A and B are shown apart, each in its own frame.
Chain A
Amino acid sequence: AQSVTQLDSQVPVFEEAPVELRCNYSSSVSVYLFWYVQYPNQGLQLLLKYLSGSTLVKGINGFEAEFNKSQTSFHLRKPSVHISDTAEYFCAVRVLESGYNKLIFGAGTRLAVHP
């Protein structure tokens, strides 16, 4: 079965510091990967996605992620975080079952940016 593992449940960081949120997936077939962000009391918003092509993917709000097939990872990075980046981040993989796409989510990583 496909699965997504987010290695850190919480990541505290100071403002303007770099951050990396880790995500590993298990899949034996073609992989389509996503990062979503959830701000407090809101729904999920797409941050970035990898479908094919360049392994370095740039998203909104200065985030980027790198797809590493050999390490089955899709880590999310930002070189300098802001207080407004405080949110929960979800890594997800899209799998094809019975001819239809389904999104499988990781448990989430809560990013807390401190002044």
Chain B
Amino acid sequence: NAGVTQTPKFQVLKTGQSMTLQCAQDMNHEYMSWYRQDPGMGLRLIHYSVGAGITDQGEVPNGYNVSRSTTEDFPLRLLSAAPSQTSVYFCASSYSARMNTEAFFGQGTRLTVV
């Protein structure tokens, strides 16, 4: 039961560097999303996708890009990392974007930008 897999688990970046956080799910879920978790702020939606080839912005999209070329994968790209992007990032997926189905979360990626 792989579920939602995120890699890497930990990452340290220098300001200005770029990187991609990987997210893959093996449940054939239609809906995938990225959240960032910061102390006292809960989880905030960065980007989401309702199917292959379809993405849209969430609450805090600036500084991040996404793409969804396959149903399984939904990578999150940081184009030029900034200290304000130090956070824990969670990928989630659910069966349907329109029905009320359970969201499954990955284990998270802890990112530090120095």
Q: Is the interface of B mostly helix, strand, loop or mixed?
A: strand
Q: Which residues of the other chain, A, contact B45 by a CB distance below 8 angstroms?
A: 102-104
The stretch of A13-21, A39-47, A60-68, A70-78 in contact with B is A39-47
CB pair A90 B42 closer than 8 Å: yes
Q: Which residues of the other chain, B, contact A105 by a CB distance below 8 angstroms?
A: 35, 42-44
Write out, one digit per residue, whether chain B residues 37-54 have a CB within 8 A of any chain A CB (1) or not (0): 000111111001010000
Question: Nearest chain-A residue to B91 (Cβ)?
Answer: A43
**In-complex Cβ contact of A46 among B97, B102, B107 (8 A):** B102
**In-complex Cβ contact of A99 among B44, B98, B107 (8 A):** B98
A99 to B33, CA, bound (A): 16
**Residue A58 at the B interface, CB < 8 A?**
no
Question: Nearest chain-A residue to B99 (Cβ)?
Answer: A101
Q: Which residues of the other chain, B, contact A4 by a CB distance below 8 angstroms?
A: 42
Question: Nearest chain-B residue to A98 (Cβ)?
Answer: B56
**In-complex Cβ contact of B105 among A41, A45, A104 (8 A):** A45
Interface size, A (range): 20 to 34
B93 CB → nearest A CB, Å: 12
A5 CB → nearest B CB, Å: 10
CB pair B100 A94 closer than 8 Å: yes
CB pair B41 A44 closer than 8 Å: no
Known contacts: A103-B45, A107-B40, A108-B42. The answer to whether A43 contacts B50 by CB under 8 A is no
27 A-B residue pairs with CB within 8 Å? A6-B42, A36-B105, A43-B4, A43-B90, A43-B105, A44-B92, A45-B105, A46-B102, A46-B103, A49-B102, A90-B42, A94-B100, A98-B56, A100-B48, A101-B98, A101-B99, A101-B100, A102-B58, A103-B43, A103-B103, A104-B45, A105-B35, A105-B42, A105-B43, A105-B44, A107-B42, A108-B40
Report which B residues bind A (CB closer than 8 A): 4, 31, 33, 35, 40-45, 48, 50, 56, 58, 90, 92, 94, 96-100, 102-103, 105-108
